[in-house]
Structure 1
Amino acid sequence: MISQFFTLESTPFTKELPTSKLYQSSSFKECMARLHYIVRTRSFGLLSGEIGSGKSTAIRALRDALDMTKYRFIYLCDSSLKPRDFYRELLHQLGIVPQNLKSDAKRQYEHAIWDLYESQQKTAVIVIDEAHLLQGDMLQEIRFLTNFQIDSVSPVSLLMVGQPELRSTLQMRLFKPITQRLNIRYHLGGLGASEMKEYVEHQLQAAGAQHPIFTAEAIDAIYAHTRGIAREINNVCTACLLDAVVRKEKLIDTIHVAKILTNTQGVMMEEYNASYS
């Protein structure tokens, strides 16, 4: 609908954009540099960021950039995992049938990681997403994932990804052994005003736009509402595009944006009232 009306090659502001065509903001470039360093040096890192700031996009870009002849990418995203189930899931992704007991599964994991590193000349890159939701026992277990040969060498790159509260949780004395082992930490924030303008233009150009669709004032209004958070930008821009299609208007100005934001806030308020009625 959007692509046809605006004569685009594809629909902008979706997750379907290949990682090779992602907008490279200054913070995103720095984030990717840190992630690649973690991989190269087989380190333990933490990536935090607000909801919708682009953490998952960064992980997807990292995965797509890895040489799979040298690395084995393992992605975990299950906040309900207990230590035994955690090792079992790791082993399943490594193609190994896990033992029932946690201690046995843990030994299997260690053996598999070393075999991957020494025999296959590959490094396991383990990403634990939504880590801010993990229970204390699971966070404690993550510390042991980095214990190889009494810290003399690590055959694995480990990355925890989560919302800002993860950083607060790890500041607790209970988790000090984890924070002491963290080599790299990075917080992914929102785009600045000028970068958001470039981001919107980049998304539209990547979709095949030949002329501006959003006025400068409309982009300023979107920035004021979204604070530069990528997912929010995508949602508002998509809603504006759909509204423009319905109205058969090719240019989106502040009137369109104000209408969309008013409707969005109205829906949110109705949902809030319904939940407490």
Structure 2
Amino acid sequence: MYEPFFEMTNTPFRNDIDTDALYLSSDMSEVLSRLEYAAARQLFAVVTADVGCGKSTAIRRFTSKLSKENYEILYLSDSKLTPRWFYKGLLDQLGIESKFYRGDARRQLHQQLEIIHGIYKKHVVTIVDEAHLLAKETLEEIRFLLNTKMDSHQPMSLILVGQNELWDKLKLQHYAAIRQRIDLKCEIPQYDLSQTHEYIAAHLSYSGGAKEVFTDKAIDEIYRYSAGSARAINKLCTHALIYAAQRAKKLIDDHMIREVIAGELP
């Protein structure tokens, strides 16, 4: 709709752009380094961020860089994940039919993890998304899963990903046993103003079109509206590009951004 007007070969503010083209702030680079460390050493990590601040982007970039020869990646995202369905979900991805009882399924999974690690020489990385919605029973079961060989060995890397309330939950006293098992804590903050400028510039560069589309004052307005949320930046920039193209405007200023915020956004 607007790409031809701005002579773009790629759509710049989508959520699913190529992982190699993603903007990496210093904070995001640090999170990715921690996750790579967790994967290599089979550690337990927790990733938290506000809504729209890049959790999914971080996981997508992280998993895209893991060698398929060295890593087996398992992914779950279910707000109503019970212990039984936790095991079933992982075993299904490994091509194994889960037994009904939780203890039996846990033993099945341990056996498969040992086979993958011992025979195929791969590290298993399990990612549980939307983890802030998990019930205490499921979080406890995850802790039991990591209890193996008298704490001398973790059978896999486990990464819990959720909104900031996940860490607030884990700080409660009745989650102390789980919290004490966490090896790495990764927080993805909102972008600051400078990073918002860099983010927009990186995505415009990815588009292959004009790089000077938004004025500095326009980006200041985008930052004020989005509070540094990547999702909100994407949404506002997309609407602004559509608005400008429909009016044959090659440059988007702060006045246009305010008009888009007031009249175009739900």
TM over 0.5: yes
Q: Is 1:215 matched up with 2:215?
A: yes
> Quick one: distance in 2 between partners of 1:47 and 1:86?
19
What is aligned with 1:57? 57
What is aligned with 2:152? 152
Q: Is 1:236 matched up with 2:236?
A: yes
- Secondary structure at the aligned position of 2:180 is classed as helix
Q: Is 1:26 matched up with 2:33?
A: no
Q: Higher helix share goes to which structure?
A: 1
Q: What is the Cα deviation at residue 15 of structure 1?
A: 2.2
Q: What is the Cα deviation at residue 94 of structure 1?
A: 0.9
What is aligned with 1:177? 177
Identify if the C-alpha distance between structure 1 residues 89 and 211 changes in structure 2 by more than 3 Å, giving closer, same or farther: closer
Give the letter aligned to residue 71 of structure 1: Y
Question: Structure 2: where are the runs of 5+ without partners?
Answer: none
Q: What is the Cα deviation at residue 49 of structure 1?
A: 0.2
Does the aligned pair in 1 maintain the 2:45–2:183 contact within 8 Å? yes
Normalised by the length of structure 1, the TM-score is: 0.93
> Quick one: distance in 2 between partners of 1:218 and 1:92?
49
> Quick one: distance in 1 between partners of 2:85 and 2:33?
32
What is aligned with 2:227? 227
What is aligned with 2:3? 3
> Quick one: distance in 2 between partners of 1:230 and 1:133?
22
Give the letter aligned to residue 249 of structure 1: K
Normalised by the length of structure 2, the TM-score is: 0.97
Q: Higher mean Cα deviation, 253-262 or 52-61?
A: 253-262
Query: Deviation string for 1:189-217 (max 9, x for gaps)?
Result: 11111111011011001110234010110
- Secondary structure at the aligned position of 2:27 is classed as helix
Does the aligned pair in 1 maintain the 2:110–2:155 contact within 8 Å? no
> Quick one: distance in 1 between partners of 2:85 and 2:235?
35
What is aligned with 1:130? 130
Q: Higher mean Cα deviation, 196-205 or 8-17?
A: 8-17
- Secondary structure at the aligned position of 2:3 is classed as helix
Q: Is 1:200 matched up with 2:200?
A: yes
- Secondary structure at the aligned position of 2:146 is classed as coil
- Stretches (4+) displaced over 4 A: none
- Secondary structure at the aligned position of 1:231 is classed as helix
- Secondary structure at the aligned position of 2:186 is classed as strand
> Quick one: distance in 1 between partners of 2:110 and 2:214?
53
> Quick one: distance in 2 between partners of 1:58 and 1:206?
18
Give the letter aligned to residue 137 of structure 2: D
Q: Is 1:73 matched up with 2:54?
A: no
> Quick one: distance in 2 between partners of 1:46 and 1:126?
12
Provide the aligned C-alpha RMSD in A. Answer: 1.1
Query: Deviation string for 1:201-237 (max 9, x for gaps)?
Result: 1100111023401011000110111111111100110
Q: What is the Cα deviation at residue 155 of structure 1?
A: 2.9
Question: Structure 1: where are the runs of 5+ without partners?
Answer: 268-277
What is aligned with 2:113? 113
Identify if the C-alpha distance between structure 1 residues 8 and 264 changes in structure 2 by more than 3 Å, giving closer, same or farther: closer
> Quick one: distance in 2 between partners of 1:256 and 1:73?
44
> Quick one: distance in 2 between partners of 1:152 and 1:257?
56
Give the letter aligned to residue 33 of structure 2: A
Q: Is 1:256 matched up with 2:253?
A: no
Q: Percent identity?
A: 38
Give the letter aligned to residue 6 of structure 1: F
Number of aligned residues: 266
Query: Deviation string for 1:89-148 (max 9, x for gaps)?
Result: 110011111111212111101101111111110111000000000111111111112112
> Quick one: distance in 1 between partners of 2:216 and 2:129?
36
> Quick one: distance in 2 between partners of 1:93 and 1:132?
23
> Quick one: distance in 1 between partners of 2:98 and 2:9?
47
- Secondary structure at the aligned position of 1:127 is classed as strand
What is aligned with 1:272? none
What is aligned with 1:85? 85
Does the aligned pair in 2 maintain the 1:2–1:11 contact within 8 Å? no
> Quick one: distance in 2 between partners of 1:47 and 1:156?
17
Identify if the C-alpha distance between structure 1 residues 99 and 4 changes in structure 2 by more than 3 Å, giving closer, same or farther: same
